[in-house]
Chains A and B, each alone.
Chain A
Amino acid sequence: MSGLSRYAYGTQSQLWCCNCVFPFMLLFFVGWVAIGQLLPPLSPSMSADEVAALFDANRDRLRLCMVLCMYSTVFLIPFSASIIGQIARIEQNGPRVWTYAALIAAAGNVVSFTFPLMFWTVALFRSDRAASLVQLASDLAWLPFLGMASPYVALPLCVALAGLLDRAARPAFPRWYCYLTLASVIAILPAALIVFFQHGWFAWNGMFGWWLPFSDVFGWTILTYVLLRRAILAQASEVLPEGGP
């Protein structure tokens, strides 16, 4: 394979990884919203008996929801890798600290996304389990799923900081996007307060526990996809001036 065709192959791979955001979102939305009907989320003030009864009445539907959401993470991994590929491009002549930090953060994201799904699956696995244990497993899932913002925010932070430190004539990401990413990280931080509340704005089904973080992550992901794709094509045009691969 010549150097040029290898580069075109690399661009194609990056675009495929970038496009993985669509199957990720599709699987998650079909599983979570259409099948699981978990939008809006269950109230944290529900009693153990109420949670157990709800799980019992919708057991197979929720099991299928968990399986689909679990498989959606398969596509989250290449999408994260395509973001990290651009951070590596920014840091190609340096020690690549933000690249490695983003890599660790993306791996942490997958863990913090899949572990709650496993706890819900455990809660749904046996029908003869005590209601208090079902509620315990459910709490073990909801609290980290929505409140453990720290691994999630590390990835956008790495993108923003690497982008702001980019000194190239044609930076990978526009600077306004990096600042907006920092603001989106700040907006999501209050989600960690769900550990204190069972109702109200800060509960896990409230404005700052669910709706704002959910919209924030969704909006940031779509915007990142658009700019990431543009960055990958710009990278290709630097090597392939005649229209790219």
Chain B
Amino acid sequence: MSGRTDVRQLPGETGIWVFILTDLLLFGLYFVLAQCDHVRAPWAFQAGKAELSIALGTANTLLLLAGSWAVAMGTRVVQDARQAGRCLGLAAFSGVLFLALKAFEWHRHLSQGHRIDENPFQTWYFFLTGFHALHVIGATLWLAALARRLTAGRASSTVVMEAAGCYWHLVDLLWIGIFLVIYVL
């Protein structure tokens, strides 16, 4: 990992921030429209939320936060490449656990007879959690590839590692938004 200059700059590269801001705007739009539906069909949201497990949602949140900690350690704190690789591997593992938990929750939800076109709450539940899971899959694969490279003793550029870290934090941030919109508020 190369040394830093005195000039403050964005972590990663400008392009990844273009991506992050666009994705944030997109999810911002989803959250606003979900709230519009919440106002129009409060009964659907009340009944839907009552059936969801806050404990599972909280466990998902903690897993992603633990992953964010491991990513921060791997990209900003740990200097040794192999140790940084292990940290990123740990973060990728938290992504796998998150997806397993989400698959369990979906299976339980579908077994209860819920469908995506049942009512506005179910639409947003399936869409937001499913679309976010695609983001988690992307982040997990990216971190796992970097972890494999670093633990094998091969160098990886600081820019790429920071970009992957920023993407993981985005995925984490989006989940917190989903947790609030779907499980809590």
Contact = CB atoms under 8 A, between A and B. Distances in A.
9 contacts: A177-B15, A183-B26, A184-B22, A189-B131, A193-B127, A200-B123, A201-B33, A201-B123, A202-B123
Contacts, number: 45
Contacts of A175: 13-15
Contacts of A196: 116-117
Main secondary structure of the interface of B (DSSP, over half): helix
B131 A183 contact: no
A182 B26 contact: no
Interface string B9-29: 000011110110011001000
B48 interface: no
Q: Which 3 A-B pairs have the closest CB atoms?
A: A183-B22, A179-B15, A179-B19
Interface in A149-193: 174-180, 182-184, 186-187, 189-190, 193
A197 interface: yes
Range of interface residues on B (Cβ < 8 Å): 10 to 19
Nearest to B16: A179
B168 to A, nearest CB: 16
A202 B127 contact: yes
B23 A186 contact: yes
Nearest to B12: A179
Interface residues of A, number: 21
B139 to A, nearest CB: 13
Contacts of B15: 174-180
Given A190-B127, A190-B131, A202-B123, A183 B23 contact: yes
A207 interface: yes
A184 B23 CA distance: 9
Interface in B113-134: 116-117, 120, 123, 127, 131, 134
B117 A197 contact: yes
A179 B131 CA distance: 18
Given A183-B18, A196-B117, 20 more contacts: A175-B14, A176-B14, A176-B18, A179-B16, A179-B19, A180-B15, A180-B18, A182-B19, A183-B23, A184-B22, A186-B23, A187-B26, A189-B131, A190-B127, A190-B131, A196-B116, A197-B117, A201-B33, A201-B123, A207-B33
Centre residue among B14, B16, B18, B134 by max chain A CB count within 10 A: B18
Nearest to B24: A183
Contact of B22 (A174, A187, A193, A201): A187
A68 to B, nearest CB: 32
A200 B127 CA distance: 13
Interface in A111-163: none
A182 B123 CA distance: 25
B123 to A, nearest CB: 7
B105 to A, nearest CB: 20
Interface string A214-236: 00000000000000000000000
Contacts of A183: 18-19, 22-23, 26
Contact of A200 (B16, B23, B120): B120
A214 to B, nearest CB: 15
Contacts of B23: 183, 186
